[in-house]
Structure 1
Amino acid sequence: MKFAISSLLLVASTLGMCGSASAESTLRMAHLWPAGSVVNKKIFQDWAKQVEEDSNGQLNVEIYPSQTLSQAGKTYEAAANGIADIAVTLQGYTAGRFPLTEIVQLPGVVSSASQGSCILQTLYNEGDIAEEYSDTRVLFLFTTGPAYLHSQDAEIQKPGDLEGLRIRRPSSVAGEMLSSMGAQPLGMPAPDIYTALQRGVMDGLSFPWEAMTVFRINELVNYHLELPYYAGAIVATMSQSSYDDLSSDMQDVIDKNSGMKWSRVAGRVFDELDRKGREEAVAQGDTIHVVEDPLSDPDWAAPLKQGSRNYLQSLEERGLDDAGDVYEKALALGERCQA
C-alpha cells in the first residue's frame, strides 16, 4: 500500500509540472518549435502558466513541441478535428487554406514581428479574415519578422543569382516569387531544414533571423541577403469542441488570454530573436548584403511587385473579390501598428 501511495504521489507531482493534478481539464498544445527554444519558453510556456494561474489550477496545459503530437502541415487540422486541444502553426504550411491571411506575407507589408502581429490580429479582430478560422476558436495571431535569403556557398545579390538554386520556400506564395526569379523552390517544415542543408539537399532557404537561431541554421550558411520579401503568419488556435467542453468560468480564462495582448507578447519575443539571429551571423563572420527598399530597388522591385499582383489576382479568380481591399488595409495598418 505504501508503494502504491508513493507511486500516485509521483504521478501527481509529474502532472504538477504543467499544472494541477486535479485540473478540470487538461489541454494538449501542439507546435513545431523545439522544447528548449525561446519561442516555446517565452510564448507557449508563459501562456500555459498564465492560464493555469488564472484558472487556479483548474486548467492544465500539456505542451507537445517539435511536432510530437502533430506534423507541422497537419497541426491546424489537428485542432479542427480535436486531435489537439490547442494548435500553433504557420498558415503557409497549408497552401490555399488561408488565402486572405497570406496577404500579410506579401512584400512591403511587415517590417517587424511586433508590427506584423498587430496587423494580423487587427485584421482578424475586425472581421477581414475571421471566416478563414470558423472551424476553430482562435486564441491569437502573430507573425515572424521579415524573412530573408540565406545560402551556403552561393552569394545572392540580384535576382539572377537565384537561377537554378534549390531554395526552401516558406509558403506557396513565396515559392511562386522564387520560381519567377529562376530558383527551384523546395517545401519542407522548418525542423527538417538543418538536416537537408547538411545533406546537400538544398542550396539555401528563406527564413527570418529568428528562425536562423532557433533552428541553428546559422551554423550551416555563410551568405545572407536582407531582402524583406516575405513574413510568416502564425496562428494559435483552439479546438471549438474543447472550448465548448469547458465551464463558463474556464472559458472566461481562455478568453482573457486571447487576442492582441498575447499577439504583442509573441511579436516582442520574435523581434528579440531576430536581433539575436543577426548578431550570430555577424559574429561568425558571415557576408550580409542589405536591400534597403526592395519595392523601389532597380533589381528587385519588378519581380516582387509582380509576385504580389499575381497572388492578389489569383485570389480574385477564386472569387475573393475583397482581396485588394484586405491588401490595402494591411498596408494602412502597417503605419498604425508601427506606433
Structure 2
Amino acid sequence: MSRHVVRPRFCVSRLICCAIVLALWLPAQASSYEVIEVKEGGTIEGRVTLQGDVPEPKGFNLITFPDPQYCGRISNGKGWRLLYDFVVDRKAGLKDAVVLLEGVERGKPFDLSVPLIEARDCQFKPFVTIVRNGHAVEVVNMDPVMHDIQGYETSLQAGTRVLFNSPLRMNALHHRGDLHATHDHEPGRSLVGPIYLNRGRRTFYMQCGFHAFMESWAMAVNNPYYAVTGPDGSYRLDHVPPGTYQLIVWHPQSGPGVSRMVTVGPQGRLVEDIALEAPKGNRSAFKVMENPRFGPESLGHPVDIKPLVEYQQ
C-alpha cells in the first residue's frame, strides 16, 4: 500500500511525536558513531522478565471521552477501555522492554529507518518505538476521528514542561459511519519531522488529549545495538565489537530500569537474563469500577458500545 510522505520540514514544536523524559542512567551526550567492519563480533542475548505480580491494566470509562462508540470497538463489553501497559507471558517474559548497549562508538551499519507510529482504533501502534537521535519520526491517523497529540518534557531537575499540543486530523478515507469498517484504506497525508533531543534526555512520551488511553513511548539511540523485546521477553544483539559496555534494560512503566557492565569477547556469546521489578501499590487512578452511575445509561440517551475489533478481558 502506497502512502504519501511529506519531506521533513517541520520544527519540533509542530511534530506529532512524543514527550521527552529524563533517563538518569544514560550518559548526557554520546559521541558520533563510526561504521566499521566488525571482525570476530560477539552476541548478547537473553530474556527480560517481570519480577512480581503483573499490574492490572488501566481502565478508562469510555463515556467520559469523545467517540465512545468508535473507540469502544476495543473494550471490555461494559463500556470500559483497558490499557495493557504490561504484557507478560506465562513465564514472566516482558514484552516491549528496550535493551541497548551504551559505549559502542564503532561497529556495524546504523540503518534505522524512519519509524512509523499509527493512530489505529484509538490506540498508538507500536507502544514502544526506537528512533535514531537527530533523525525523524512519521505519524499517521488511520481513524475517522480526530486526535489531539500532547507532548511533555520532564526531568527531576526542571520538572514537567509541555512541548506542544497539536491536532491530528481524522482520516477521511475511513468509513466514518460504519463501526464495522476495517482499515483497508490509505493512511493519507503523514507528518514527518526530525527529533533533536535535549541534552541527556533519551525517552519521549505521546498521549492523546482527547483519548487518555492512547499512549506511546519511544527511545532515541546513538548506535545500532538495541532491541525491543518480543512477546516472550527475548532479545538479541549481534555483531557486537569485542569490548566492555553498559547494558541497559528499560520499560516505560517499570521505573528507572536496570544497568550492568558486560564484556563481550571475540566471537563470544553472552547470555544476560534480566528481571525488572513490577511496580507495587496503587499506581494509577484509572481503574474499572462496577458502578451503574458510570454506565452508558448515565448519559440520558442510548449509547451502544460494542467491542467489534477486540473484546478485552
TM bucket, shorter chain: under 0.3
Give TM-score scaled by structure 1 length: 0.26
More strand by share: 2
Higher relative contact order (CA 8 A, sep 6+): 2
